[in-house]
Chains A and B, each alone.
Chain A
Amino acid sequence: MLEVQHLTKRFGTMTAVADESFTVRPGEIMGLIGQNGAGKTTTFRMILNFLRPDSGSVSWQGHPLTAADYNQLGYLPEERGLYPKMRVADQIQYFAELRGMSGKAVRAALPEWLDRFQVKGKPSDQVKSLSKGNQQKVQLIAALIHQPRLVILDEPFTGLDPVNASVLEAGIKRLRDDGAAIIYSSHNMSNVEALSDHLIMLKDGAVVLAGTVPEIRHSFGRTKLFLESALTEAQVQEFAGVQSVQRDGARLVVTLSDPAAGEAIFAAATAKGYIPEFSQQPPTLDEIFRLKVEAGHA
């Protein structure tokens, strides 16, 4: 179990991370979201012991993470890089050996991993001959082939097309099912929503959101209403608790300031019987993200 407690880190006058706490249990995936410069990478670097926190602590299985725990760790840095002239197999083998895996075990496991991540290229190919996306997958394999217990992935989806992103998603879920504690950062909220058991949002180093995806969304109330009925925009706008109405083709997208307004709108819309759509939802993660980011800039 990874426990991060009250982490704070300042660089000069700039506070990179302020009083950040969270826990990632084995078999759990935690998403870390936030704008560029919100403190995600700094958080990872403190977990990895690259940076010393000004206050607070990080513990892994109940003790501070040290070099002795490196073999249980899988890390994909935000900045990608491999030895361009090295062969794919040699490269992965080197990283895996550094994590305590034997060369023989690496060579035995490699074909299955290359297949699982659908890497286009042979193990004997030089890394630089591979496309960027495939290089990224090779690096992922290098970070994961030793079956780490704690996985840290900094922006793993960046640069992957939707198909490869799904391949990666499946790979991460499989690691979780094998009992690894996984923490990753992302800008892509649809990935985060689909993948995370729980998530943390950082803004200027401070935790502004924490919890499971449904918890976070529902904490904002069902303020989003998708409606396809005989009611016009002007009619809907008349209801108390309606903030704004927008037309999106045949449907209206209504933003409510009071979720209770949904009931009256439903009654009015269904007064004459059947309507194709009435869906009252909490805001999406993407909307919440924007909301939170904009909150400070108002």
Chain B
Amino acid sequence: MHKFWIVTKQVYKKNLKSGSWLFLVVSPLFFAAIILGVGLLMNHSAKAAKLAVVNAPAAVVRVLDQSSDAHASAYTPAKAKSALQAERLDGVLTVTNTNPLTARLVTRVGGQSIDQAALQGALNQLNTQTQAGQLKLSATQLQQLLSPAKLTTRAVAIKDGKQVAKASSTDAVNRGIAFGITILMMIFMLVYGSILAQEIATEKGSRIMEMLLSAVSATTQFFGKLCGILLLLVTQLGIYAVVGAIAWPLLHRQAMVRQLLAGLDFSALLSVNGAQILLFFLVGTLSYAVLAALTGSLVANQEQVQQAVMPISILGMLGYFGALMAQAGDSPILRVASYIPFLSPSVMPVRVTMGYAPSWQGWLALGVSVAFLGLFTWFTVRVYRANVLIYKEGGFGKALRATLAMLKVQR
């Protein structure tokens, strides 16, 4: 087996068995299961309300039964009263006048709730029909009378004093998608960055690194580790995909999930924009992983491991707040931030999705990020190799200076 894969396998297997990774994978599933379980339970217990309709013609009862979500049936006043007392009914609707339609609703406290808006709507409809009949209106006339006024909405973005067209229907969706992706990226970048920083810092702090570097080149080791960490990420996503596929038949039937899916326009994700977001995600995660490797290799002992994770957290938070700000509106700071490596993967996709920046600017920022990632990786591999020999106590600044000095004397 090539040494690259031995390193990859080792990093992958070691973390796969670690409690913290399992927790990372299982906890979102666990919470999703709880939310789903609560939803299921509520759905199960929520039955249609039983409504007694008193003093109404059979046609009215039929319309009420069909147009409101309550189960309506005709009752005599006495029967309705006794059934309500026996808690077999959730409400009693007594029609007191048919022209104009007037009714009184009694609901039982503790019973299934009756959607009063729906009931009112059904009654309105019945009343309108009655009135139309008296005015001798034809069906067409009635329809004309009832046809609502049309209101179409369109949001516009002003860019450089010019109006830029933007479809309003996708606005909320874009906002949601941009927000979701920002959070996801932040979590993955921080979590996997920390795993890698800790991995390397532990090897450095416990002096294993020197032994490893006499067996395998720094470059091979570095990329082997990176690959192992990315495989972990892929495994986590894969586990979610499998669990999702298994749970789909169940999820599909949930009203909550159906509503959520209906509100999202996934076509946005399958567009060029979606590809850009995916690439930003990849480049962003890689940049943070490389940064993690750099800071991880700077530690002198095990106690400094937390210090190694800190720069990643700070940059991650900055990017996250940048993305949050970008959702609220555009600003010169954000325009600059969307080209700065480490920040651009979370800021630029939001700006493009929100329509503040055209697609080509997104590609430009992506290009900048990729070029930076290349240079940064090259630099980090060199530092990683030089750092093995440096154990400077007292902070990262000193360690970094010592490293740069070491780079000069090294191969």
Closest-CB distance, A154 to chain B (whole angstroms): 9
Taking a contact as CB atoms closer than 8 A, the residue among A48, A49, A79 that contacts B207 in the complex is A79
Q: Give per-residue flags for A31-64: 1 if the beta carbon is below 8 A from chain B beta carbons, else 0.
A: 0000000000000010011111000000000000
Contacts of A94 in B (CB 8 A): 6, 10
Closest-CB distance, A151 to chain B (whole angstroms): 11
Give the docked Cα–Cα distance between A242 and B389 (Å): 49
Contact between chains at A99 and B208 (CB < 8 Å): no
Taking a contact as CB atoms closer than 8 A, the residue among B3, B409, B410, B411 that contacts A98 in the complex is B3
Q: Within 8 Å of chain B (Cβ to Cβ): is A73?
A: yes
Give the docked Cα–Cα distance between A143 and B212 (Å): 10
Give the docked Cα–Cα distance between A73 and B6 (Å): 18
Contacts of B202 in A (CB 8 A): 83
Q: Within 8 Å of chain A (Cβ to Cβ): is B211?
A: yes
Contact between chains at A98 and B216 (CB < 8 Å): yes
Taking a contact as CB atoms closer than 8 A, the residue among A11, A49, A51, A81 that contacts B211 in the complex is A81
Contact between chains at B214 and A48 (CB < 8 Å): yes
Contact between chains at A77 and B215 (CB < 8 Å): no
Contacts of A79 in B (CB 8 A): 207, 210, 391
Q: Give per-residue flags for B1-42: 1 if the beta carbon is below 8 A from chain A beta carbons, else 0.
A: 101001100100010000000000000000000000000000
Closest-CB distance, A44 to chain B (whole angstroms): 9
Contacts of B215 in A (CB 8 A): 70-71, 73, 75, 95, 98-99
Contact between chains at B410 and A51 (CB < 8 Å): yes
Q: Give per-residue flags for B212-252: 1 if the beta carbon is below 8 A from chain A beta carbons, else 0.
A: 11111100100000000000000000000000000000000
Contacts of A86 in B (CB 8 A): 14
Contacts of B6 in A (CB 8 A): 94, 97-98
Taking a contact as CB atoms closer than 8 A, the residue among A51, A52, A73, A81 that contacts B214 in the complex is A73
Contact between chains at B211 and A75 (CB < 8 Å): yes
Contacts of B10 in A (CB 8 A): 94
Contact between chains at A97 and B1 (CB < 8 Å): yes
Q: Within 8 Å of chain B (Cβ to Cβ): is A4?
A: no
Q: Within 8 Å of chain B (Cβ to Cβ): is A80?
A: yes
Closest-CB distance, B393 to chain A (whole angstroms): 14
Contacts of B1 in A (CB 8 A): 97
Give the docked Cα–Cα distance between A10 and B215 (Å): 26
Contacts of B208 in A (CB 8 A): 81-83
Q: Within 8 Å of chain A (Cβ to Cβ): is B388?
A: yes
Interface residues in B355-411 by Cβ distance below 8 A to A read 388-389, 391, 409-411
Contacts of B102 in A (CB 8 A): none
Contacts of A73 in B (CB 8 A): 214-215
Q: Within 8 Å of chain B (Cβ to Cβ): is A84?
A: yes
Q: Within 8 Å of chain A (Cβ to Cβ): is B206?
A: yes
Give the docked Cα–Cα distance between A53 and B273 (Å): 52
Give the docked Cα–Cα distance between A237 and B207 (Å): 54
Contact between chains at B211 and A77 (CB < 8 Å): yes
Contacts of B214 in A (CB 8 A): 48, 50, 70, 73, 75, 77, 152
Contacts of B212 in A (CB 8 A): 95, 98
Residue count of chain A within 8 Å CB distance of chain B: 30
Interface residues in A196-238 by Cβ distance below 8 A to B read none
Taking a contact as CB atoms closer than 8 A, the residue among A50, A51, A67, A81 that contacts B206 in the complex is A81
Q: Within 8 Å of chain B (Cβ to Cβ): is A142?
A: yes
Closest-CB distance, B219 to chain A (whole angstroms): 9
Residue of A nearest to B3 (CB): A98
Closest-CB distance, A91 to chain B (whole angstroms): 9
Contacts of B217 in A (CB 8 A): 67, 70
Decide yes or no: A80 and B409 within 8 Å by CB, A97-B1, A99-B215 being known contacts.
no
Give the docked Cα–Cα distance between A95 and B411 (Å): 24
Residue of B nearest to A80 (CB): B207
Decide yes or no: A77 and B411 within 8 Å by CB, A50-B389, A98-B6, A98-B216 being known contacts.
no
Give the docked Cα–Cα distance between A42 and B409 (Å): 13
Closest-CB distance, A60 to chain B (whole angstroms): 13
Give the docked Cα–Cα distance between A265 and B220 (Å): 68
Give the docked Cα–Cα distance between A192 and B216 (Å): 30
Contacts of A142 in B (CB 8 A): 211
Residue of B nearest to A98 (CB): B215
Give the docked Cα–Cα distance between A80 and B207 (Å): 6
Closest-CB distance, A103 to chain B (whole angstroms): 9
Contacts of B211 in A (CB 8 A): 75-77, 81, 95, 139, 142-143
Contacts of B391 in A (CB 8 A): 79
Residue of B nearest to A67 (CB): B217
Closest-CB distance, A213 to chain B (whole angstroms): 28
Closest-CB distance, B302 to chain A (whole angstroms): 9
Give the docked Cα–Cα distance between A75 and B210 (Å): 9
Decide yes or no: A49 and B411 within 8 Å by CB, A75-B211, A75-B214, A98-B3 being known contacts.
yes
Contact between chains at B388 and A50 (CB < 8 Å): yes
Give the docked Cα–Cα distance between A98 and B3 (Å): 6
Decide yes or no: A77 and B216 within 8 Å by CB, A86-B14, A98-B3 being known contacts.
no
Residue of B nearest to A73 (CB): B214
**Which of A79, A98, A143 gathers most chain B CB within 10 Å?**
A98
Contact between chains at A11 and B409 (CB < 8 Å): yes
Contacts of B210 in A (CB 8 A): 50, 75, 77, 79
Q: Give per-residue flags for B189-206: 1 if the beta carbon is below 8 A from chain A beta carbons, else 0.
A: 000000000000011001
Contact between chains at A77 and B206 (CB < 8 Å): no
Contacts of A71 in B (CB 8 A): 215
Taking a contact as CB atoms closer than 8 A, the residue among B14, B203, B207 that contacts A77 in the complex is B207
Give the docked Cα–Cα distance between A50 and B209 (Å): 12
Q: Give per-residue flags for A124-156: 1 if the beta carbon is below 8 A from chain B beta carbons, else 0.
A: 000000000000000100110000000010000
Residues of B participating in the A interface, judged by any CB pair closer than 8 Å = 1, 3, 6-7, 10, 14, 202-203, 206-208, 210-217, 220, 388-389, 391, 409-411
A-B contact pairs, 15 of them (CB 8 A): A51-B409, A51-B410, A52-B409, A70-B215, A75-B210, A76-B211, A77-B210, A77-B211, A79-B210, A82-B206, A82-B208, A83-B203, A94-B10, A97-B6, A152-B214
Ordered nearest first, which 3 A-B pairs have the shortest CB separation?
Answer: A81-B207, A81-B206, A79-B207
18 extra A-B contacts, CB within 8 A, seeds A51-B389, A81-B207, A143-B211: A11-B409, A45-B389, A50-B214, A50-B389, A50-B410, A51-B411, A67-B220, A70-B214, A73-B215, A77-B211, A79-B210, A81-B211, A83-B202, A86-B14, A94-B10, A98-B216, A99-B215, A142-B211
Residues of A participating in the B interface, judged by any CB pair closer than 8 Å = 11, 45, 48-52, 67, 70-71, 73, 75-77, 79-84, 86, 94-95, 97-99, 139, 142-143, 152
